[in-house]
């Protein structure tokens, strides 16, 4: 079995990024305190009333961390956020079912829209308190890009169904449109540069980010599900632009998807699973990742897709998750529980304290901090 590579994919990674990567790489070989526990804290939704029926509190909610601490006596080690918020409806037409993924979305990491949603400020505070940070992007399709960094439609069509109606606007998007020379290249460069501006602010504050773009590339919700070779070009394009032009030496690059779409060992630091089942079961991607010498993580976890609704009355026993970690994720370095009704601090759930106190788990209170200074 290969052991994790100790050098980040970006050869220009900063010293603290390298030290964090080395420390993360050491976790898999431990027998206890080996898996960081994380909580996703939501999106910068400035108008949560738009989702009042299904996601009434799904806007960015850093208080989730204190909610968990109040319930269990420990904080998660990792805070997860997304840079794109759901900011309004679009004219879907009389026959189109509007979903949270077809609404207008806006890039918002530093309260640029004046909505008091300031992700980066909270991420910097979390980092300075001893925690770690991961960011994903539910970004809109580049052909809908507007100068204020908003746009619509993340999905392409699934055919006739209530949730994904057949419509030309939901067609599969051709990724060649955003590669150099493509019709939407200017838009895509503006979108990437907007993301990079937020990541630059974090870099300047000393924050290392586990950056997870294009997550679930193998799933149907994403507009760019396409030929693996084209996707690899898109990933490499962003990697080079961020690493070389923007000098973002504070990123560890995380890929969530199946091996078929994998962009390459030289472009990825960590590979993850997103699972929405009551227990973890399938080890195939975990084992494939470990054999490649890459870090593995459970990059999203939720206990059933019907529990997405914030106002769900569903209850989950976290003992089911805890029992499945050792047999199914023996070398994973972190676990990120999703937000809404799934969140660890939801008082309807059971055995959250036992999860947070399990010898396998690393809370913020359990984290060594010597890697930050190299001492």
| pLDDT at site 110 | 87
| pLDDT at site 93 | 39
Asked if residues 4 and 29 have their Cβ atoms less than 8 Å apart, the reply is no
| pLDDT at site 136 | 96
Instruction: Provide the percentage of residues in the chain whose pLDDT is more than 70.
Output: 81
pTM higher than 0.75, yes or no?
Answer: yes
3-class DSSP state of 169: helix
| pLDDT at site 155 | 62
Q: Which two tokens mark 244? A: 């070389």
| pLDDT at site 126 | 98
pLDDT higher than 80, residue 52? no
Asked if residues 57 and 341 have their Cβ atoms less than 8 Å apart, the reply is no
Element holding 284 (H helix, E strand): helix 284-291
| pLDDT at site 97 | 39
From the CB of residue 91, how many other CB atoms can be counted at a distance below 10 Å?
A: 8
Task: Express each pLDDT in 206-230 by its tens digit.
Answer: 999 999 999 888 776 678 766 889 9
| pLDDT at site 303 | 87
Mean pLDDT, all residues of the chain? 86
Q: Give the residue carrying structure tokens 């089942």.
A: 277
User: Would you kindly state where each structural domain of the chain is located, as residue ranges?
Assistant: 15-373
pLDDT higher than 70, residue 337? yes
From the CB of residue 73, how many other CB atoms can be counted at a distance below 10 Å?
A: 12
pLDDT higher than 60, residue 276? yes
Q: How far apart, in Å, do the first and last CA atoms of the chain sit?
A: 30
Please, which residues have CB within 8 angstroms of residue 373's CB and are 6 or more apart in sequence? none
- State which fold the 15-373 domain adopts: TIM Barrel (3.20.20)
Asked if residues 212 and 269 have their Cβ atoms less than 8 Å apart, the reply is no
* H and E: helices and strands count for the chain: 9, 12
Q: Which residues share a beta bridge with 362?
A: 36
pLDDT higher than 90, residue 305? no
Least reliable range by pLDDT among 103-107, 131-135, 204-208, 239-243 = 103-107
């Amino acid at each position: 079995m290969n052991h994790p590579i100790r050098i980040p994919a970006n050869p220009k990674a900063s010293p603290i990024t390298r030290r964090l990567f080395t420390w993360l790489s050491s976790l898999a070989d431990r027998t206890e305190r080996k898996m960081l526990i994380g909580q996703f804290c939501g999106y910068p939704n400035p108008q949560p009333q738009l989702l009042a029926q299904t996601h009434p509190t799904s806007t960015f909610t850093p208080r989730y961390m204190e909610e968990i601490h109040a319930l269990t006596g420990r904080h998660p080690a990792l805070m997860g956020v997304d840079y794109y918020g759901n900011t309004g409806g679009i004219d879907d037409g009389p026959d189109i079912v509007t979903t949270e993924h077809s609404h207008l979305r806006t890039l918002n990491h530093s309260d640029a829209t004046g909505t008091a949603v300031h992700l980066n400020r909270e991420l910097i505070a979390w980092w300075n308190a001893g925690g770690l940070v991961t960011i994903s992007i539910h970004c809109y399709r580049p052909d809908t890009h507007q100068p204020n960094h908003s746009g619509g439609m993340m999905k392409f069509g699934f055919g006739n169904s209530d949730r994904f109606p057949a419509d030309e606007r939901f067609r599969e998007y051709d990724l060649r449109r955003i590669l150099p020379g493509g019709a939407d290249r200017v838009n895509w460069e503006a979108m990437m540069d907007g993301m990079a501006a937020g990541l630059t602010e974090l870099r300047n504050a000393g924050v290392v980010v586990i950056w997870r773009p294009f997550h679930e590339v193998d799933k149907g919700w994403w507009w760019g599900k396409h030929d693996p070779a084209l996707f690899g070009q898109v990933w490499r394009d962003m990697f080079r632009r961020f690493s070389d032009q923007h000098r973002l030496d504070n990123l560890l690059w995380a890929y969530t998807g199946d091996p078929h779409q994998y962009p390459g060992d030289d472009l990825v630091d960590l590979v993850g699973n997103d699972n929405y089942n009551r227990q973890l079961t399938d080890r195939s991607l975990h084992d494939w990742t470990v054999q490649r010498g890459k870090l593995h993580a459970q990059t999203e976890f939720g206990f059933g897709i019907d529990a997405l609704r914030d106002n769900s009355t569903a209850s989950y026993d976290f003992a089911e998750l805890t029992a499945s970690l050792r047999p199914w994720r023996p070398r994973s370095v972190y676990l990120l529980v999703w937000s809404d009704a799934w969140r660890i601090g939801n008082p309807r759930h059971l055995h959250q304290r036992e999860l947070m106190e399990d010898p396998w788990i690393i809370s913020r209170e359990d984290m060594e901090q010597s890697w930050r200074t190299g001492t």
